[in-house]
Structure 1
Amino acid sequence: MANPKQQESMLLTEHFTWPPISLIDDIINAVNEVLYRCTDTFETGLSSANPALLGFADRAAAENRVPDADEDGNAVFPEAKLEIEEGILKLETLMENAIDKNFDKLEIWTLRNVLCLPREDGVGEWVRLRHYENVQTPPKDTHLTPEALYTLRRKLQETLKLHAALLAEKHRNDLQIAKLRALLQPTVSPKQEPRSSTSPAKPHSQNAHDAPFAFLTHTPAARDLGIQTLPTATSRSTSAATDPHPQTHTPLSTNTTFTTSQLPYLRTLLTSLQPHLATTALPTTRHEGEKAELAKERKVYIESQSKRILERRGVDTRDGVEGEFGGSRVGGDEVRALEGIVGALGSATGNGNGNGNGSGEAREVQTQVHAQGEEMDTT
């Protein structure tokens, strides 16, 4: 438990928000700083003075010693610098001892007569500081153990950490909101005049790089849609200075809220229309000219693809795709019938002439007909 003197020091520290001894320490440090500056100035002055004027020439004459001379013929006394440094050090030590002795007396007298409580015993127990007014002291808990006290102290520490983390998060959120608002609110200089609504130029074009999304709220198209223009940085600061009760303008939030409020009605309407979509065909409103154009495009596409296929198979298509073989397409049955006729003619010719020439000519004709039939089938 702290003794009465320590309790008095704690009470004064809480009252002044700084320890009483720190005032005396600051005074002593300030006096020491002045002392060090004085000794430095004194040393600089002695070092820059002529050693002969400080008595070094008289001492050399008394000792029958001839001092050395520099290039200009002036006497040089090397021992002058050393003696000046030693003398300054002795003077500084003497002054420090005097300051410590006298200001220790000041410290003791101040702590006993100025920065202290009245000498009556028990006064510190009756002193109540201003920040302790209307504070109800909880009753003494006889069941409070050191473990419970440690737990409460840990809870207090964690609460303070959480509070600091929340403040940091709030600061980061404020910065993020400011950055997002800068994307929507262009900054207008005070000297910039407002552009007329009849001007053909695009508004806020010079600030497009500052607020790339300002067109959502600060363009004539946005005003036509009923979106309220957000206040710019200059106008907001001016209104805040003139209007004691500023109003918060949130057109985007208002429009978003209205849109989301209409979603249930749209879902209901869509649900009621779904049964009709399965049985009702979509209306066709194409005109006759559009139908003819589509048919023409389809015909051109078919002809181009047919021509490409025929050219790939070696068919000459310079005269066109249609009428390439001068008639209708020959079917497989017709080709087989022609082959049978050619075979019968070849057999009859071979039997009548008694040589193989007729049979060879018939086979050649048959081969040509067969090839022509296959080529016709490909068309």
Structure 2
Amino acid sequence: MSAPVNSDVTLLTEHLTYRPAALIDDIVNSINILAFRATEAVEKGLLAADPADIGFRKAPNAPDASEAESEIRDKAQHEIENGVHQLETLLEAKIDKNFDKLELYALRNILSVPPDVRDWVRLSHYEGLNFAPDEDAPDVESIGLQRRKLRETQKLNTLLMTEKSQNEATIASLKALLSISGDKMENGDEGEKPYPAFAFLQDKGELTGDAQRPVTTTTSFTLSQLPALKAILANLQPRLEKLSTPHPAINGEAEKSWRSERVEFVENETRKHLENVRGLELGDMGEIRDGDWQGEGRKIGKQEVEDLEAVVGMVNGKPNGKDTDEQT
């Protein structure tokens, strides 16, 4: 039942340009406004009337007439407000009950389309429209495919833009190597721009490139590169002089850098470990000997010989490694 009702509501909304329930709501709101105005008029009329005219009289044996009259007015006002409130509540209940019936009746019998003609109704703005399904119309799968293609295209565009920026930076750095603009650094003065390393490749001077005389062309090109080569040589000469200066000597020996001292220390400690702990026999250049004679071995000190003699004597039962009787 919900589908036909929704179809009727949609059809009538397109036809009337507003919802059918909105018409009933406007009618109910108008009646409620009129009922509120009626109860307000009743309250104002009763409050303006004399309490005696609407049944509120003072007692005949009241001692003070002014106090009795004030008490009667307060009582009358209270009764009027309470009665008007009850009247307003009763009217609202009756309006809601009866206009709910009106809404149901209107939506079922007036603001509705008969089922036998519902499928045949065509509004004026539907004239000339073709409702046949289009074979080329996009479906969910094709739309999803296009979205995936769009995302991949955006990713590719981002990658290409990144690569473009990297290429532009690389080209700019390469052009800087060939650029001749800027001040040339001469004699190693600080504060001046360095001369580009490959600027001489483009500084051809007055070279015309005559193919008929290659020797003349080559000579002209060589001569045109001499200023650039001189500038590079002037830049390198102070550095070469600085590098060729020996380190100051300490105690008659040249000062060693911390790198060379570190390498020498590591090599000495490694050699000691291999000889003393591993028992390897190493040559002068650190090569491992295989036991055959390949030159003089490690020199043995006098103390080491005496220690070996003492050990041999102790093995033979001699105290302190010596005979008790001296032998000649």
Scaled by the length of structure 2, what TM-score is found?
Answer: 0.39
Structure whose alpha-carbon radius of gyration is higher:
2
Q: What TM-score comes out, normalization by structure 1 length? A: 0.34
